[in-house]
Chains A and B, each alone.
Chain A
Amino acid sequence: MRRLLVIAIPLVTIILFLAVMLSGNFLKQPLGKDDDIPGLIETLIKDIQDEQWDKVNQKAEELNNAWGKVVNRIQFSAERNEINNLSVALARFKGAILEKDRTSAIMELKEAYEHWNQLCQ
Chain B
Amino acid sequence: MDNNTDINYYREVKQVLNEGLVVFVRSIIAFFSLLIFTRIIGKEQISQLTFFDYVLGITIGSIAASLTTDLSSRAWPHWVGLITWAVLGYLMEIVTLKWRYASKVLEGEPVIVIMNGKIMEKALKKAKYRISDILELMRNQGVFDPNEVDFAIIESNGQLSILKKAEHLPVTRKDMNIPVQNPGISTELVYDGMLIEENLRQLNKDKAWLMNELKAHGINDISEVFLVTLNPEGSIYIDKYDDHITKITDIGDYKGPF
Q: Which chain A residues have a beta carbon within 8 Å of chain B's beta carbons?
A: 10, 13-14, 17, 20-22, 24, 57, 60-61, 64-65, 67-68, 71-72, 75-81, 83, 87, 90-91, 94, 98, 120
Beyond A77-B74, A80-B72, is A17–B1 a contact (Cβ under 8 Å)?
no
Q: Which residues on A sit within 8 Å (CB–CB) of B13?
A: 64, 67-68, 71, 87, 90
- For residue B185, CB closer than 8 A to chain A, the reply is no
Would you give 13 A-B contacts (Cβ < 8 Å), ordered by A? A14-B36, A17-B32, A20-B75, A60-B1, A61-B9, A64-B13, A67-B13, A68-B16, A71-B17, A75-B18, A79-B71, A79-B74, A120-B74
* Residue pair A75, B74 in contact (C-beta under 8 Å): no
Q: Is B235 an interface residue (CB 8 A)?
A: no
Per-position contact with A for B38-81: 1 when CB-CB < 8 Å, else 0? 01000000000000000000000000000000011111100100
B140 interface contact, C-beta 8 A: no
Q: How far apart sit A94 and B108, CA to CA, in the bound complex (Å)?
A: 65
Please give the distance in Å from A97's CB to the nearest CB on chain B. 9
CA gap between A89 and B83 in the complex, in Å: 35
B contacts, CB < 8 Å to A: 1, 3, 6, 9-10, 12-14, 16-19, 21-22, 25-26, 29, 32-33, 36, 39, 71-76, 79
CB neighbours of B32 from chain A (8 A): 13, 17
Q: Which secondary structure characterizes the binding site on chain B? A: helix
Considering the complex, give the chain B residue whose CB is closest to the CB of A54.
Answer: B1
Q: What are the residues of chain B within 8 A of A77 when measuring CB–CB?
A: 74-76
- Pick the most buried of A17, A20, A64: most chain B CB atoms within 10 A of its CB: A17
Q: Say whether A20 contacts B33, CB under 8 Å.
A: no
Complex: A37 Cα to B27 Cα, angstroms:
30
> Given A75-B22, A79-B72, A79-B73, are A14 and B10 neighbors across the interface (CB < 8 Å)?
no
A82 to B81, CA, bound (A): 21
Partner of B14 from the list A14, A17, A87 (CB cut-off 8 Å) is: A87
Q: How far is the CB of B5 from chain A (nearest CB, A)?
A: 8
In the assembled complex, which residues on chain A have CB atoms less than 8 Å from the CB atom of B74? Answer: 21, 24, 77-79, 120
Query: Which residues does chain A contribute within 8 Å of B39, judged by CB atoms?
Result: 10
What 10 A-B pairs have minimum CB-CB distances, sorted nearest first?
Answer: A80-B71, A21-B76, A10-B36, A64-B9, A72-B16, A79-B74, A57-B1, A68-B13, A21-B75, A17-B29
Once bound together, how far apart are the Cα atoms of A111 and B235, in whole Å?
81
Bound-complex Cα distance A20 to B25 (A): 9
